[in-house]
Amino acid sequence: MTRDIALGQFIPGKGVIHKMDARVKILLLIAFIVLIFCTFNFISLGLITASVVAVILLSDIPFKMYLKSLKVIILIIVITSLLNIFYGSGEPLVQFWIFKITLSGIYRAVFVTVRIVCLILISSCLTFTTSPTDLTDAIERLMKPLKIFHIKVHEIAMMMTIALRFVPTLLEETDKIMAAQKARGADMESGGMIKKIKAMTPVLIPLFVSAFRRAYDLAVAMECRCYQGGDGRTRMKILKMKKLDWFCVAFTALVLIGVILCNIFFPAAI
Amino acid sequence: MSFISVENVKFSYDEDKKNVLNDINLKIEQGEFVALLGHNGCGKSTAAKLLNAMILPDEGVVIVDKMNTSDEKLTYEIRRNVGLVLQNPDNQLVASVIEEDVAFGPENLGVPPEEIRERVDRALKTVDMYEYRKHAPHKLSGGQKQRVAIAGILAMQPTCVVFDEPTAMLDPNGREEVMNTILTLKQNGITVVLITHYMNEAVMADRVIVMDKGVVLTEGNPREVFSQVNLLKKHSLDVPQATELAYKLLGIGLKFDEMPLNTDECVDYLEGVLK
Amino acid sequence: MSIIEVKNLSFVYGIDTPFEKKAVEDVSLSVDEGEVIGLIGHTGSGKSTFVQMLNGLIKPTSGQVLLAGRDIWEKPKEIRNIRFKVGMVFQYPEYQLFDDTVYKDISFGPRNKGYSEKEIDEKVRNAARFVGLSERLLKESPFDLSGGEKRRAAIAGIIAMDPDVLVLDEPTAGLDPKGKNLLLAQIMQYHKQRKNTIFIVSHSMEDISRIADRVMVMNKGRLEMLDTPRNIFAQVEKIESMGLRVPQITKIMMTLKERGVNLPDGILTVEQAFFEVVNLLKKEGKI
């Protein structure tokens, strides 16, 4: 049975964010992340939270999906905010044994929680609305300037493309090999950790052998199609900034200015 | 001069091992459809890789469209000219979106973006996969994947396409799809070299070359070749059942004008005899 | 006595999702000990799902598989034991080879089954003999064998578990005519000696008609036909309407019959056809 793993959790849709240039999305995501960590009072924090909420409302992705991605890290949120509550300085509000809770501690906890939640929401928004292919493509184009530092940008992107292409194939293959070994009486369910790991050998070895064989075939096929690395290569898809993209850049710039002004004109809370 | 000529070629993968190809001579004309037949390990796949400079002869020369494959400067021009479609359709697709995969070849050749778009659309229409252009390869059937692989080669606008057992891993429907596509290419004037061990595919070719142990055993048009039932059987090759029956009847003295190769010909021949 | 009885077997993929699909629908049949059953149907007809329910790799959504009269899912915890009784050779089985010698690889199944070392040795050597692998090859790494040898080693791995029912999913796929004929001959030789039940899935109607006692035709998850190859392939139109073909020689003989030549139905091999044609010629005094 083929397991359909949603790679990178891309959810096809027709929303505004879906239509944006993936390069712009990545850059704006970075801008947002920086902004999230540059909020020092409640007003700027409120502003950035409102912007993030606005973005995810525009994204044409069911809110349920965002909740799912938050669920994964709920434990981290709880632990870090608890640590922060007890880490504050100043007059304790409540005190018991060696623990004391201060106002600044509560503030810190609120900031940390809101920041992490915003961070997860906005990053999920990128992965939900951008197909893995578009994402690798955008990363390759954005990283192009790094070539002067002798970073093999094209090769890295090519590897990512091939990996994305072969993940479903290899998953399917894993299923097949597992079924075949089960048919030979392999017991993969019972026993402790070590026994289970040992029981995986009959699956892992054929899987590696097959991956190598595929890699060899693919290399031959790529050479047959005149692949000679990134030099002199053109691309079918040309990415162009559209009105929508400029609008989103402008929006982010406004948020940026807003956050800076709030930070200047209102006192820092932490 | 022939479009492709292989002259006195010897080749071995390992210097001290015996030759995979042993003094082979082939001539293929422009626009011809040639089937290369032989059982596994007879050197036919190696011969395929000779034609697009994936391997170079130890001795002898391979000339493709007046270009010597041993000339390193011409390697990529030769590979663009002579496309190679491999057996396993899964392992020749590079990208996760069909149209981007088809674009891979022309992108490597540095074709301008607008022209790539045109070539990709045309290639996908030729193999009848245009409506799947946005799909992911792993959701397609074997025959569909193989047609996408063919489109990927066509987008490089080759003059010749070599098929290395393109149907070996497909079911009968997939086989038929791919064979129809191959016939379309032939109609479009592309030279086709089909390596196979299915006789009913080889029957469709203009010329059949039978290989064994690295040498050419016999060649000629399908009728000439498949008439040599004994020779083929001796080298563990199958003949179509239609031909086999006619051959058996020949043994008891039933003559025919030409050897029947397919169902219809055999029916007509037997009807003449029995009625 | 029937060794396998299938009762109203169904399997549905992805129940309660938008992708819900009936892969196998209400299949019933009963197979006698020692029978060779050919299974045909185009890709997606449910053949693979069906055979995987025979050894409990897939649990049916409804219906039963009875092995020697007992439901194989009677004790779900002991389903592994069923897999030793119903041996399953998947398509391209050479991709499951993993151990460092052919001998060890073949012994994987029998060892899982719990045979003693002495029994394992006997089973491995017997299985290797059935598929024509020499003693010398047993010491080699499975990855150094030729394509055909790998295939036979993988099949030996199943035969060595000494199953009462052997299921082969396209055992000859991708082999050349020489390798194909050799492997089929070995399987039939094994069947003759071991006298167990065999299910063989194949796209090659020529092969099926040569070796099967009865043929199952599956279409859209249902069992459309179940009969002797002779009776099945006599129904050319019905077979072709399901996207399948009949052997070329059958097609030739059927067409001749339609055109008024006095030939019997369901001729399956070149030898039979030759025999009938010669008979006819003799009767008419042409030879």
Segment B36-48 mean pLDDT: 85
pLDDT tens digits, C73-123:
999 988 999 999 999 999 999 999 999 999 999 999 999 999 999 999 999
Residue A270 pLDDT: 66
Q: Which one of C58, C95, C113 has the shortest CB-CB distance to A185?
A: C113
Our measurement of the distance from residue B24's CA atom to the centroid of its chain's CA atoms, rounded to an integer in Å, reads 18
Is the distance from CB of C88 to CB of C51 less than 8 angstroms? yes
| A90-115 per-position pLDDT tens digit | 777 777 777 777 878 888 888 889 99
Q: What is the pLDDT of residue C44?
A: 86
Write the pLDDT tens digit of every residue in B110-135: 999 999 999 999 999 999 999 999 88
Q: Please name the residue ranges forming H helices in A130-192.
A: 132-143, 153-183
Strands (E) across C33-100 are located at 36-40, 62-67, 70-71, 86-89
Which residues in chain B touch residue C278, judged by CB atoms under 8 angstroms apart?
249, 252
Across the interface, whether the CB atoms of A185 and C109 are under 8 A apart is answered: yes
Are B236 and C176 a contacting pair at CB < 8 A?
Answer: yes
Please check the confidence at residue B91 and state whether its pLDDT lies above 90: yes
Nearest to B100 among A133, A222, A238 (CB): A133
C57 contact A CB<8A: yes
Question: Dihedral through CA B88, CA B94, CA B100, CA B105, nearest 10?
Answer: -80
Partner-chain residue, chosen from C88, C99, C143, that has the shortest CB–CB distance to A183 = C88
In three-state secondary structure terms, A60 is coil
Phi, psi of C243 (to 5 degrees): 75, 20
Listed residue (B155, B161, B153) closest to B33, CA to CA = B161
> Tokens representing B51?
């034609």
- Fold of the B4-221 domain: Rossmann fold (3.40.50)
- Topology of domain C1-74+165-173+202-243 in CATH is Rossmann fold (3.40.50)
Dump pLDDT digits (tens) for C173-203. Answer: 888 888 888 999 999 999 999 999 999 999 9
A208 CB-side CA count, 13 A? 8
**How many residues can be counted in chain C?**
287
Q: CA distances (Å), C132 to each of A207, B150, C148, in order? A: 27, 38, 11
The domain spans of chain A are: 8-131+239-265
Length of chain A: 270
pTM above 0.90, yes or no: no
* C161 contacts on A by Cβ (under 8 Å): 184-185
Between CA B61 and CA B66, with CA B62 as vertex, the angle to 5 degrees is 110
Domain boundaries, chain C: 1-74+165-173+202-243, 247-287
Question: What is the chain C residue with the closest CA to B167?
Answer: C174
Task: Nearest by CB to C57, from A177, A182, A210: name it.
Answer: A182
Cα–Cα distance for residue pair B40/B54, rounded to 1 Å = 19
Chain A residues in contact with B93 (beta carbon < 8 A): 165
Supply angle C-alpha C88, C92, C95, rounded to 5: 95
Write out the H or E segment, with its range, that includes residue A53.
helix A42-58
Cβ neighbours of residue A240 closer than 8 Å, sequence gap 6 or more: A21
Chain C residues with CB under 8 Å of A184 CB are 83, 96, 108-109, 112, 157-158, 161
Handedness of CA B38, C153, C77, A204 (dihedral sign): negative
Q: What is the pLDDT of residues B148-170, one digit of tens each?
A: 999 999 999 999 999 999 998 99
**In this complex, is the C-beta atom of C14 within 8 Å of any C-beta atom belonging to chain A?**
no
Q: pLDDT tens, A162-213? A: 988 898 899 999 999 999 999 999 988 777 788 888 888 999 999 999 999 9
**C285 reaches B (C-beta below 8 A):** no
